[in-house]
Amino acid sequence: MDIQIHTDTQMPLRIVRIHDAAEGIRSFHLQQSDGTELPPFSPGSHVKVQVPNGMLRKYSLCNDPSDRHQYVITVKRDGHGRGGSISLFDEAREGDVLPTSIPDNAFPLVDNAKGYLFIAGGIGITPILSMIRSFGELPPAPWKLVYLTHSPETTAFLDELSTPELKKQVRVHHTHGDSANEFDLWTALERPLPGTHVYCCGPRRLMDEVRDMTGHWSPHQIHFESFAEGGQKRPEDKPFTVTLARSERRFEVPVGKTILEVLREHGGNAPSSCESGTCGTCRTKLLEGEADHRDMVLLPEEMAGQIMICVSRAKSDELVLDL
Ligand code: FES
C-alpha cells in the first residue's frame, strides 16, 4: 500500500485532577508521573488521547502554553458522539494513566495579525481559551471574543471570561435553545478588517455560518477548528467500498468509521492532523465515485476530484482513491 505509516509518539500521562467546568463539561489535568516538563505546545494545539475504552480522540489543550507541567483538556460529554467523551467522563478517574500524543497544531495563531476576532460555539472555546491565555497581560494585537452557548449553566470558563477587565473584549451570548435568539454575527463580519484574523471553533452549523459570512474576506484571514469526533454519524450514513488505485486493495468502510480509520486498521495511514475536516492535511485525490463531502476545506470546484478522508464519506457505492 503506497501510503505513509504515521505513528504518534505516545506518553503515559497521569490524570492529576478532574473537575467540572460547566454542566456536562469536565476538565482533565494530565501530567508526567514524575512531574517533569512536558513537550511544548503552541496556542490552538491538540493532543490525541487514548480514552479508557481504547478509542483515540483528539482534544484541544486549553491551558496557557507557558504552563509546561500539565496539559489541560476540557471535554463535553456527547451522548450522540461515538463514545470517546462518554468513556472519558464515565470511566476515567484521578490517578489513571492515559496514553497521550505529543501536541500537534492544526489551528495555529498567526503572530503578525493586526487584530484577532475569536468566535467560539460551546466547547469550541477550548483552543481559543489557550490563545487568549497565551496573550497574558500583553496581547500582541487587539482581540475580541464572541462566545455562543446555550445557557450560563452550560458555559465553560464563564467566570474567567466575565471579569470586568474583559467586558469590552468578550461578548458571551446564550440562545437558551431559542432559534429566534441567535446572535447576529453579520455585525462583526460584514466589514472585512485589514490584518484581522478570524478564528472560529464550534459546531458545524456555526462554522458553516461563519464561512458563508466571510466569503468576501481574504481566505488567509479565516481559520476553523472543529470539535466533531472525526465525523459525526448521520442518519443517511451507509457502508461503502474504498479502493486504493495504486495497490488495488479494497476495503469496506462501515457506518461509524471513517476512511482514515479503516486505512489505519489495515496497517497504513495517510497524513492527518485535525481529523475533523478543517486543516486539509488528509486531502486525497478522488479518481472515481461520488463523495459525500463533510469538510470545511474544499472549494466547490475541487469537490469532484478531491476528498478529505478524515470525515467525508460516499454517496456512491464505491470510491477510488489515488493511494
Ligand atoms: Fe485535517 Fe483531514 S486531517 S482535514
Q: What is the pLDDT along the chain (323 residues), one digit of tens a residue?
A: 333 333 446 899 999 999 999 999 999 999 999 999 999 999 999 998 999 988 888 899 999 999 999 999 999 998 766 688 999 999 999 999 999 999 999 899 998 999 999 999 999 999 999 999 999 989 999 999 999 999 999 999 999 999 999 999 999 999 998 888 899 999 999 999 999 999 999 987 898 899 899 999 998 999 998 765 555 677 889 999 999 999 999 999 999 889 998 998 888 777 887 778 878 889 999 999 999 998 878 888 899 999 999 999 999 999 999 99
Specify whether the CB–CB gap between 120 and 128 falls below 8 A. Answer: yes
Write out the H or E segment, with its range, that includes residue 46: strand 46-50
Could you give the residue ranges of the DSSP H alpha helices within 257-317?
Answer: 259-265
Quick count: other Cβ atoms within 10 Å of Cβ 29? 19
CA of 295 to the centre of ligand 1 (A): 8
Measured over the CA atoms of residue 108, residue 141, residue 160 and residue 178, the dihedral's sign is negative
Closest CA to 226 of 253, 240, 206: 206
Residues in the chain: 323
Strands (DSSP E) along 162-236, which ranges? 170-174, 196-202, 222-226
Ligand 1 touching residue 104 (CB < 6 A): no
CA of 273 to the centre of ligand 1 (A): 6
Specify whether the CB–CB gap between 27 and 74 falls below 8 A. Answer: yes
Best residue among 201, 279, 307 to mutate for probing ligand 1, ranked by most atoms within 8 Å of CB? 279
Specify whether the CB–CB gap between 137 and 131 falls below 8 A. Answer: no
C-alpha cell at 170: 468578550
Sketch out the chain's domains with CATH numbers.
10-101 (2.40.30.10), 115-225 (3.40.50.80), 240-321 (3.10.20.30)
Alpha-carbon span 120 to 125, nearest angstrom: 5
How many whole angstroms from its chain centre is CA 63? 16
Which residue has 478524515 as its cell numbers? 310
C-alpha cell at 16: 492529576
C-alpha cell at 7: 505513528
Specify whether the CB–CB gap between 135 and 160 falls below 8 A. Answer: no
Best residue among 275, 293, 303 to mutate for probing ligand 1, ranked by most atoms within 8 Å of CB? 275
**Atom of ligand 1 lying closest to residue 106 CA:** 1
Ligand 1 touching residue 282 (CB < 6 A): yes
Specify whether the CB–CB gap between 300 and 272 falls below 8 A. Answer: no
Alpha-carbon span 277 to 57, nearest angstrom: 14
| 249-253 and 240-244 beta bridge pairing | antiparallel
pLDDT at 232: 63
Specify whether the CB–CB gap between 138 and 119 falls below 8 A. Answer: no
Quick count: other Cβ atoms within 10 Å of Cβ 188? 17
Ligand 1 touching residue 295 (CB < 6 A): yes
Ligand 1 touching residue 139 (CB < 6 A): no
pLDDT at 5: 32
Residues contacting 276, CB < 8 A, separation 6+: 58, 225, 226, 227, 228, 230, 231, 310, 311
**Atom of ligand 1 lying closest to residue 309 CA:** 2
Ligand 1 touching residue 260 (CB < 6 A): no
CA of 276 to the centre of ligand 1 (A): 6
Specify whether the CB–CB gap between 124 and 107 falls below 8 A. Answer: no
Closest CA to 209 of 179, 178, 168, 169: 179
